A and B are shown apart, each in its own frame.
Chain A
Amino acid sequence: MITTLMSLHPSDETLSRIADQSETERMRSRAGRHVMTCARCRAELAELAALGDAARAMPEAPLPPALWARIEATDVASDTSSSRDGLRRLDGDKTVARGSVRRRALVAVAVAATIMAVFLLWPSVHRSELAAADADRLTISPRYPRAGTTARIRFVPPAGARPADTLWLEGELRIADGDGWEWFPVGVPVVRDHGEYGGLLTLPRSALGGSLRLVEMHSSVANERTLGGLVVLASDSANGQRPSLDALEAAASRGVGPWQSRDRIAAEFARWAPDHPMRWTLDRASSSGGMLDWLGYFTSKERRFARLTETLGRRKSVRPGELAGMVALAYQIEEPGLAAEWSERLLREYPRSPWSAAVRVSEIHAMELRSAPRDSILALIPSLDSLLRRGRTIPDDHWTAQDLIARYEDSTAMRRWKLRMAAAGRGVQGFEFTGRQTELADREMRDSAEAGARHSLARLAGAGGPEARRTRAVMYGQLASIALARGEPQRAIALTDSSRVDSCRWVGRDTRGLAFLALRDSSSARQLLLPFAAGEWSGATAAQRALGLDMRDPRVRQSADSAARAAMKCGR
């Protein structure tokens, strides 16, 4: 669902890049100009800026009182150890790095036993208690429900917290679909009852698993609060005592969300599939960092990878999820060559698996990040095309896939891909003023997009919560756009009424405005479209032309700017 919304806004990655740019630099790109006029994107940028502000505002750690004495006690830059360690030249600056471990080595020896005990215990204590604390607050019963059954959700708010009476458990659960999989949207109410909260989650048939979040929804679009994360793992055993491997892989592969979920999924792997490579891809410990260097060697991802290579190499049959995990692990330890070996095996043994397409997309993207020669990237494109054509499932990272197609394939391949995306309810990108109507002029595209939107709306039936509300608005906006392209403005207006599309959203607003314009209701049209005419984003000129605005007139410019500001404030 989140990815559907991305059709209208720059990706998070692009926003992060824009956050580092000056206003002038921003104006040079389409995404940058979009951000200037989009309330939601500006709010995102403000959050990114707040992260930097918070980091800069962190109090500085006080200087250890004994440090000066320690420096004084050293024969400053005079002793032979300086010469022994030598001058090190780093990136153009001459610096001296001198070992200073003697005194600490003695201390380390003295307290070695204590520290070792803490070192050895720390990861398990830390993780398990973290998981337990949050798991106690937001729980699902039974712990591993079977697909098609209903599970009970319980939430105990932290002491002193006063969340709203109704909260929403939302996110997506992966469901098996033949050789592939789909993601099923979840949005169930979790309601206060005597200080605690309760709700019921019915798992779809063929449900595997996923990571959900509990949110408090406010009237304001921008003020939703996440109160906790819940990992849902379906069981395939008769007694429901353990999760299925498919469920574990599903939960690990996408939307692991906050660190609590990530750690919890890692803990589930450790318990039920300790030798699965995905377990180690979830491990947040630095690959180079052990508590001590030598201990780090035995616990490092490199070591794990070597051991898993031996283990899996001996097995006749290895699951596609395990092979994908090995590819991911190889990338985490910076071994692209080994990653390529495992991905070749995955593609050879499981050409129809969604893992194969997902891995190939990630692999090519990783090559781009490493500035690999274009020829070596091009050599992989035919296999990508073949995987995307044959697979039943659209890769989770489908926007990256689309970017790759745009960069390396022809317009026929791109049209084929877009039709498929539209049919899957992944949305038609852009506003009416930025090419949406051009795309929908293609009849096959209109039909595919309509089928996709209806399919998405049907799947959302019964789902509540902010995410479901947003996705519904996007889908109704898409249906309205299709109606407008078919010359049915009345229908477009009906599809964007306030019961379907929140009037505070920009989604559908452009379509509704143009529909009014087609019906010669210029007053309603102007009210809706004026915000689009402000600023210098890529659709501004088209909006100005639609309304017949003369932007050389300062009063017109001011009026458009005011309308844009009012629209941005709406709902806040």
Chain B
Amino acid sequence: MSLPRGTPRLQPARPYSGTARDETVLVSRVMSGEREALGELYSAFASTVHAAAQRLLGERSDAEDVTHELFAGLPRILAGWDAARGSLGPWLRRVAVRLALMRLRSGRRRREVDVGAVASLVARSDEPHERLTMADALERLNDEQRVVFLLKEVEGYSHAEIATLLEISVRNSEVRLFRARQALRAFLGSRL
């Protein structure tokens, strides 16, 4: 699967049509080691993969690592894709979610905090009820609550799916979602 050194760098900007047939062909090309095909997939799906990871992990560098892990391992990962079970985009997004959850569980997160981030946190606190955004509020949730809230509300998983992913009971998933909503409402005050 190794690519020859010195392969010209690609600008991953080609449009991706997204039909099932195209997807199957593209996947075969990636699995056979065509870097150009990988670039096409990157153009089409890297944003959504990165966004899902960033929301769950809350850190740019962690999200970058997950996106890197996914695309660098894509030729192998794609062996698990079954065109009959759905299109590629949502499947990759689900893989990204799983990688992010693995990262959360393993405690490999970076939690990098730069000076700018600290400054903005402190600045926001001057008018907490007026300035807090949803992103700020999510940042303040603990991992358990944030993950369940995002999986349910943004990624569209059912409680049963969340329970399986997180190895918890359905009831526990419901309770975590309830607590997350309560906390978010408290954080956001009258903004919604």
Q: How far is the CA of A161 from the CA of B126 in the complex (A)?
A: 13
Interface flag for A158 (CB, 8 Å): yes
Let me know if B153 and A75 touch, CB within 8 A.
no
Interface flag for A257 (CB, 8 Å): yes
Q: A75-95 interface mask toward B, CB cutoff 8 Å, 1 = contact, 0 = none?
A: 111110010000110110111
The verdict on A369 contacting B169 (CB below 8 Å), with A61-B54, A95-B80 known, is yes
What total of chain B residues lie within 8 Å of the partner, measured CB to CB?
Answer: 94
Q: Output the nearest chain A residue to B172 by Cβ-Cβ distance.
A: A369
Let me know if A130 and B125 touch, CB within 8 A.
yes
- In the complex, chain A residues whose CB is within 8 Å of the CB of B142: 284-286
Interface size class of A (residues with CB under 8 A): 35 or more
Interface flag for B14 (CB, 8 Å): no
Q: B110-149 interface mask toward A, CB cutoff 8 Å, 1 = contact, 0 = none?
A: 1111110010011001111110001100101011100001
Interface flag for A502 (CB, 8 Å): no
Let me know if B175 and A13 touch, CB within 8 A.
yes
Let me know if B134 and A54 touch, CB within 8 A.
yes
Let me know if B102 and A97 touch, CB within 8 A.
yes
Let me know if B128 and A78 touch, CB within 8 A.
no
The verdict on A130 contacting B128 (CB below 8 Å), with A61-B60, A61-B63 known, is yes
Q: How far is the CA of A51 from the CA of B189 in the complex (A)?
A: 11
The verdict on A76 contacting B35 (CB below 8 Å), with A70-B68, A125-B122 known, is yes
- In the complex, chain A residues whose CB is within 8 Å of the CB of B129: 226-228
- In the complex, chain B residues whose CB is within 8 Å of the CB of A47: 185, 192
- In the complex, chain B residues whose CB is within 8 Å of the CB of A292: 111
- In the complex, chain A residues whose CB is within 8 Å of the CB of B154: 52, 55-56
Let me know if B72 and A97 touch, CB within 8 A.
no
Let me know if B1 and A77 touch, CB within 8 A.
yes
Let me know if A54 and B175 touch, CB within 8 A.
no
The answer, among B95, B175, B181, for a CB contact under 8 Å with A93, is B95
Let me know if A284 and B140 touch, CB within 8 A.
yes
- In the complex, chain B residues whose CB is within 8 Å of the CB of A91: 98, 164-165
Let me know if A75 and B127 touch, CB within 8 A.
no
Q: Shortest distance in angstroms between A458's beta carbon and chain B's nearest beta carbon?
A: 31
Interface flag for B21 (CB, 8 Å): no
Let me know if A72 and B9 touch, CB within 8 A.
yes
Let me know if B65 and A100 touch, CB within 8 A.
yes
Interface flag for A60 (CB, 8 Å): yes
Given A51-B184, A61-B51, A71-B71, 20 extra CB contacts under 8 A:
A19-B181, A20-B177, A55-B149, A61-B63, A70-B68, A71-B42, A78-B3, A95-B77, A119-B113, A133-B125, A134-B125, A134-B128, A158-B126, A291-B111, A291-B113, A292-B111, A293-B108, A369-B171, A371-B169, A371-B171
A-B interface, 6 closest residue pairs, ranked by CB to CB distance from nearest: A96-B73, A94-B80, A78-B2, A60-B51, A16-B178, A52-B153
User: Can you give 10 contacting A-B residue pairs, CB < 8 Å?
Assistant: A75-B2, A93-B94, A97-B73, A98-B69, A100-B65, A104-B65, A115-B113, A122-B113, A259-B186, A289-B111
